[in-house]
Structure 1
Amino acid sequence: MKAIVISTPGSVENLVIRDDIPRPTPTRGTALIKIPAFGINHAEMHMRRGEWAESVPISGIECVGVVEDCPGGEIPARTPVAALMGGLGRTVPGSYAEYTVARVSNVVALADTEEELPLPWAEIAALPESYATAWACLFRNLGLRSGQRLLIRGRRLNLAVEAGAIITATTRSEAKFGMLRGLGVTDVIRECPSLAQRLKDQHPEDAKFDCILELVGNSTVVESLTMMASGVHFSFFGSFVFGTDEFPLSDVPLREIVQKVADGRVKHAKPWTTFGFGEIREAHKVMEEGGAGGKMVVVVDSGGRLAPACL
Structure 2
Amino acid sequence: MRGLQAEGGSLEWREQPAVELQDGQVRVAIKAAGLNRADLLQKAGMYPPPAGVTPVLGLECAGTVLEVKGNSRWSPGDRVCGLLAGGGMAEEVVVDGRHLLPVPAELSWAEAAALPEVFATAWLNVFELGAAQPGEKVLIHAGASGVGTAAIQICKALGNPCWVTLGSEDKLQACIALGATGGALRQNGIMALQSEGPFNVVLDPVGGTYAEHHLDLIALDGRWVVIGLMGGREAKLDLGKMLVKRIQLTGSTLRTRSDNYKADLLARMEERLWPLFAKGELKPMVAKTFSFEQADAAFAELAEDKIVGKVILVKE
Select 2:116's aligned residue among 128, 142, 154. Answer: 128
Instruction: Measure, in 2, the Cα distance between the counterparts of 1:255 and 1:80.
Output: 18
Secondary structure of the equivalent of 1:123?
helix
Indicate the residue corresponding to 2:241 in structure 1: none
Query: For 2:281 and 2:49, how far apart are their aligned partners in 1?
Result: 38
Which of 138, 143, 149 lines up with 1:150 in the alignment? Answer: 138
What is the CA distance between 1:181 and its match in structure 2? 1.8
Give the match for residue 199 of structure 1.
Answer: 193
As a proportion of its length, which structure holds more helix?
Answer: 2
Unpaired runs of 5+ residues, structure 1, are 89-93, 303-311
Please report how far the alpha carbon of residue 38 of structure 1 lies from its aligned counterpart in structure 2 after TM superposition.
1.1
Q: C-alpha offsets along residues 138-173 of structure 1, whole Å, 9 cap, x if unaligned?
A: 211222233222222222211111112122221122
How many Å separate the matches in 2 of 1:53 and 1:276?
Answer: 24
Distance 1:124 1:31 in 2: 18
Alignment correspondent of 1:109: 101
Alignment match, 1:208: 198
Distance of 1:295 and 1:175 partners within structure 2:
16
The aligned counterpart of 1:250 is 266
Displacement of 1:227: 1.9
Matched residue of 1:50: which SS? coil
Structure 2 partner of 1:62:
60
- Whichever residue aligns with residue 219 of structure 1, its letter is T
**TM-score with structure 2 setting the length:** 0.77
Partner Cα separation in structure 2 for residue 54 and residue 246 of structure 1:
18
- Identify the match of residue 239 of structure 1 among 254, 258, 261: 254
Whether the aligned pair in 1 keeps the contact of 2:197 and 2:217 (CA below 8 Å) is yes
Quote the residue 2:285 is aligned against: 270
1:34 positional shift: 1.6
Taking a change above 3 Å as real, the CA distance of residues 150 and 76 of structure 1, as seen in their structure-2 partners, is closer
**SS in structure 2 of the partner of residue 133 of structure 1:** helix
- State the one-letter code of the partner of 1:144: A
Give the aligned partner of residue 230 of structure 2.
none
8 A contact 1:108–1:254 mirrored in 2: no
| Residues 129 and 159 of structure 1, relative CA distance in 2, 3 Å threshold | same
Task: Determine whether 1:159 maps to 2:154.
Answer: yes
Are 2:12 and 1:15 equivalent residues in the alignment? Answer: yes
Q: Which moved more, 1:167-176 or 1:258-267?
A: 258-267
2: distance between equivalents of 1:289 and 1:228? 30
Distance in 2, matches of 1:23 and 1:276, equals 23
Matched residues in 2 for 1:50 and 1:195: separation?
30
Whether the aligned pair in 1 keeps the contact of 2:286 and 2:310 (CA below 8 Å) is: yes
Alpha-carbon distance in structure 1 between the residues aligned to 2:272 and 2:32: 20
Query: Could you tell which deviates more after superposition, 144-153 or 129-138?
Result: 144-153
| Equivalent residue in structure 1 for 2:75, among 53, 56, 77 | 77
CA pair 136-235 structure 1, distance change in 2 beyond 3 A? same
**In the alignment, does 2:23 pair up with 1:28?**
yes
AA of the residue aligned to 1:3: G
CA separation of 1:136 and 1:98: change in aligned 2, threshold 3 A: same
CA shift in 2, pair 1:211/1:69, >3 Å: same
Letter in 1 for 2:135: G
SS in 2 for 1:68: strand
Aligned residues: percent identity? Answer: 25
Contact kept, 8 Å, 2:34 with 2:60, in 1: the verdict is yes
- Contact 1:15–1:281 (CA<8 Å) still a contact in 2? no
Q: How many residues align?
A: 279
